[in-house]
Amino acid sequence: MFGDQQLEFHVSTYSRIQRQQLLQEVEGYLDLVMVLSDRYPLSVASRDGIAKRALGTLRRLEPETRESAIALHLKGQAYRVMERYDEAIEPLKAAKEAEPENFHILLALGWCYKRVHKIDAAIQVLEDALAVCPDEAIIHFNLACYWSLANNVPLALVYLAQSFDLDPKYRDMVQDEADFDPLRNHPEFVALTSVIV
């Protein structure tokens, strides 16, 4: 027969395993939508159905885990997947408070701010991300996008060049990125994006 301490240990271990399984289930739902969306886009109804299932799974967590950085990040991502950006911002901000150096949270928050036309907030969040991870090309690329939307050509060009230096694949993404439309005819933008490497 288990003693009180052994029983408490087993219950605690079971709870931890169950918590991990639920979080992994949510990540799986969101990966299904986000990772495959470029090649195999889902209908809005399917996409939203999967995201709502992710939110339902998060509600099965005990209250303290629902308020953890990972759960808040996942909640924000679920709303982001459904294009409910305003609703995504609050859980992502709370996740940022819990883990201010998690650049994935910062990227998602900046992405949502941009989509609700809060470009200054998006830029600030990505500047925070840059302080944490200065060598992540995606941060530089997104900052270039946001500065382009803010009509700051010099900063947009600086960050775009830095993204190319860190990861040349970003050069291939410029053509299809509408955020650079304000810069398309700027001579320095043309010179930067037409350089053959």
Q: Express as a percent the part of the chain with pLDDT over 70.
A: 91
Task: Report which DSSP code applies to 194.
Answer: T
Tell if the pTM clears 0.75, that is, is over it. Answer: yes
Please choose, from the candidates 133, 134, 114, the residue with its C-alpha nearest in 3D space to the C-alpha of residue 124: 114
**Quick one: pLDDT band at residue 5, thresholds 50, 70, 90?**
low
Architecture of domain 1-118: Alpha Horseshoe (1.25)
The pLDDT of residue 16: 81
Question: Where exactly are the structural domains of the chain?
Answer: 1-118, 134-197
Q: Express as a percent the part of the chain with pLDDT over 90.
A: 80
What would the 3-class secondary structure string for 20-87 be? HHHHHHHHHHHHHHHCCCCCCCCCHHHHHHHHHHHHHHHHCCCHHHHCCHHHHHHHHHHHHHCCCHHH
Helix (H) or strand (E) holding 124, with range, is helix 119-132
